[in-house]
């Protein structure tokens, strides 16, 4: 055993010098965090630019948010603090930054610009606390939360970590150290001289949620409910044009190469079955820069989507993911999942008419004249129930049916907040409506 320990120590000395030199060469423009004890403690430890910070009141975890004391953290950041007890306002400043926020409010003013906090500042035991994400979103600090160790890393630069991860019992590897950049596992360096560059996978749930950049050795931890390939990729849908409607008579589709918006008029002109647009899903992915250009609701969720821990290795909600699609066999486009995820998931249901999984012309044997009338014309006498359902994008809310010796009568009701729409059928043909 002593002989083994002696050999192991010599291996550590040899490769320890290698890692030190490697970290120096790889740390240009980065803050290197080394020699940190990652043993989990009962309290939260904060490291800033490589050094552990001491507080007179420890950081707290409140409703899943890491809260840090204002006076303590701002002192280390070189920011002056003033407290106004009457208005419960914190004013902070240095030569480059001015900050103002009120206890209990999720709004802050940073250098004259309003910022929205994902969680309000609060007073705990007489100490003013702010969510650490405020330092990231509003002040530009890189933040890495190591949950398994209760450790928070902070820096103005990108964060490079070397973590010794101990002994792994899987041959042929032995002792190893892991390289992290901004909390993302990028490489494993083995003390027996072998290097293993980590392969990453994107995992998808059945409803289109995404776990990005999962290291290969962690894929199994997500269980059978996740798959490597998105359930939407490779499928073709026919989507009602209204679901693709965006702002200013433009669609929610953008050219993949140039990110130019595709107009609704161009889509309508290329539709081949009423208002249905053919869309083949080529890829399902997440790209922050592209998402910022595509998603029209980004202002409400930008704080969440810019969180690097959410982007890398955490679940990204389906409405924040992107689809690369071929539209009408003509436009190579990209769009956000956003509100379209539920229609896609319900496309196979019999009562779904907003999204179809087959060419509508193969489902409904109607003439081109009928399809053209369905594009924009109001309901007309002589329509069938399927025509009404296609035009209204669904079956009615209420149906009454009476069968007599002479005929079958049906009353369809589409309920609305102010006025119901009623359709009366005789032998399946619309004869009256009101």
Q: Using the 8-state DSSP alphabet, how is residue 377 labeled?
A: P
Q: For residues 245 and 248, what is the distance between their CA atoms, to the nearest angstrom?
A: 9
Same domain, 174 and 59: no
Top pLDDT among 428 and 136 is at 428
Q: Based on the structure, what is the number of domains in the chain?
A: 4
Q: Is residue 224 part of a domain?
A: no
Structural domain contains residue 215: no
Is residue 219 included in any domain, yes or no?
no
Same domain, 146 and 162: no
* pLDDT band (50, 70, 90) for residue 429: very high
- Among 156, 189, 221, the domain boundary falls at 156
Task: Supply the DSSP string of 284-333, one letter for each residue.
Answer: EE--HHHHHHH-TTHHHHHHHHT-HHHHSSSEEPGGG-EEEEEETTTEEE
Q: Are 227 and 219 in contact (CB under 8 A)?
A: no
- Cα(305)–Cα(292) distance, integer angstroms: 9
User: 59: number of CA atoms within 13 Å, CB side?
Assistant: 25
> 104 with 147, same domain?
yes
User: Is residue 372 one of the residues assigned to a domain?
Assistant: no
pLDDT tens per residue, range 295-349: 654 444 444 555 655 556 678 888 788 999 999 888 899 988 877 888 888 888 8
Q: Examine the domain organization and report whether 245 and 308 are in the same domain.
A: yes
Regarding whether 164 and 133 lie in a shared domain, the answer is no
Helix (H) or strand (E) holding 350, with range, is none
Judge if 249 and 356 occupy the same domain. Answer: yes
Cβ pair 397, 415 in contact under 8 A: yes
Q: Could you tell me if 358 and 240 lie in one domain?
A: yes
Mean predicted lDDT score pLDDT of the chain: 81
163 and 84 part of one domain: no
Identify the three-state secondary structure at position 387: helix
Domain annotation covers residue 371: no
Please indicate, yes or no, if residue 14 is contained in any of the structural domains: yes
Nearest to 265 by CA among 419, 375, 139: 375
Q: State what percent of residues in the chain have pLDDT above 90.
A: 24
Report the interhelical angle of 368-376 vs 385-392 (nearest 10°).
Answer: 40
Report if residue 411 sits inside a domain.
Answer: yes
pLDDT at 151: 93
**Residue 409: predicted pLDDT:** 94
What residues make up the domain containing 185? 1-29+157-198
| Sign of the Cα pseudo-torsion (360, 362, 367, 368, in order) | positive
Q: Are residues 247 and 357 in the same domain?
A: yes
Q: Which residue, 390, 344, 396, is CA-closest to 364?
A: 390
Structure tokens of 169? Answer: 């019992």
pLDDT at 41 over 60: yes
The pLDDT tens digits of the residues spanning 377-398 come to: 789 999 999 999 988 888 899 9
The model's pTM is 0.55
C-alpha distances in Å from residue 280, one per residue of 51, 191, 277, 302: 52, 48, 10, 28
């Amino acid at each position: 055993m002593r002989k083994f320990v002696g050999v192991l120590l010599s291996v550590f000395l040899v490769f320890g010098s290698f890692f030190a030199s490697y970290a120096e060469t790889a740390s240009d423009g980065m803050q290197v965090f080394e020699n940190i004890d990652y043993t989990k403690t009962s309290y939260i430890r904060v490291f800033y630019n490589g050094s552990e910070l001491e507080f007179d009141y420890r950081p707290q975890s409140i409703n899943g948010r890491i809260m840090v004391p204002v006076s303590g953290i701002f002192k280390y950041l070189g920011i002056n603090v003033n407290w106004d007890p009457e208005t419960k306002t914190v004013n902070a400043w240095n030569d480059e930054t001015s900050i103002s926020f009120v206890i209990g409010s999720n709004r802050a003013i940073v250098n004259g610009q309003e910022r929205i906090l994902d969680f309000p500042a609060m007073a705990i035991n007489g100490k003013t606390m702010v969510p650490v994400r405020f330092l990231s979103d509003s002040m530009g600090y890189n933040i890495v939360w190591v949950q398994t160790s209760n450790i928070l890393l902070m820096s103005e630069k990108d964060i490079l970590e070397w973590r010794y991860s101990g002994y792994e019992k899987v041959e042929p590897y032995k002792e190893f150290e892991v390289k992290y950049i901004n909390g993302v596992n990028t490489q494993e360096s083995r003390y027996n001289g072998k290097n293993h560059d980590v392969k990453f996978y994107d995992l998808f749930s059945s409803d289109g949620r995404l776990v990005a950049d999962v290291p290969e050795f962690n894929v199994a931890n997500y269980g059978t409910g996740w798959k490597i390939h998105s359930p939407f990729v490779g499928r073709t849908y026919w989507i009602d044009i209204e679901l693709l409607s965006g702002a200013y008579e433009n669609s929610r589709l953008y050219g993949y190469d140039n990110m130019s918006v595709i107009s609704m008029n161009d889509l309508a002109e290329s539709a081949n079955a009423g208002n249905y647009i053919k869309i083949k899903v080529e890829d399902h992915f997440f790209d922050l820069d592209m998402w910022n250009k595509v998603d029209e609701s980004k202002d409400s969720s930008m704080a969440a989507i810019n969180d690097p821990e959410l982007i890398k290795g955490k679940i990204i909600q389906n409405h924040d993911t992107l689809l690369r699609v071929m539209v009408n066999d003509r436009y190579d486009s990209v769009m956000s999942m956003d509100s379209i995820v539920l229609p896609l998931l319900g496309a196979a249901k019999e009562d779904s008419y907003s999204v179809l999984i087959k060419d509508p012309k193969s489902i409904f044997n109607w003439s081109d004249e009928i399809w053209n009338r369905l594009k924009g014309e109001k309901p007309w006498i002589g329509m069938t129930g399927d025509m009404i359902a296609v035009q209204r994008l669904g079956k009615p809310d209420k149906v009454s049916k009476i069968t007599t010796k002479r005929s079958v009568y049906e009353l369809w009701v589409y309920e609305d907040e102010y006025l119901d729409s009623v359709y009366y059928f005789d032998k399946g043909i619309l004869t009256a409506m009101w």
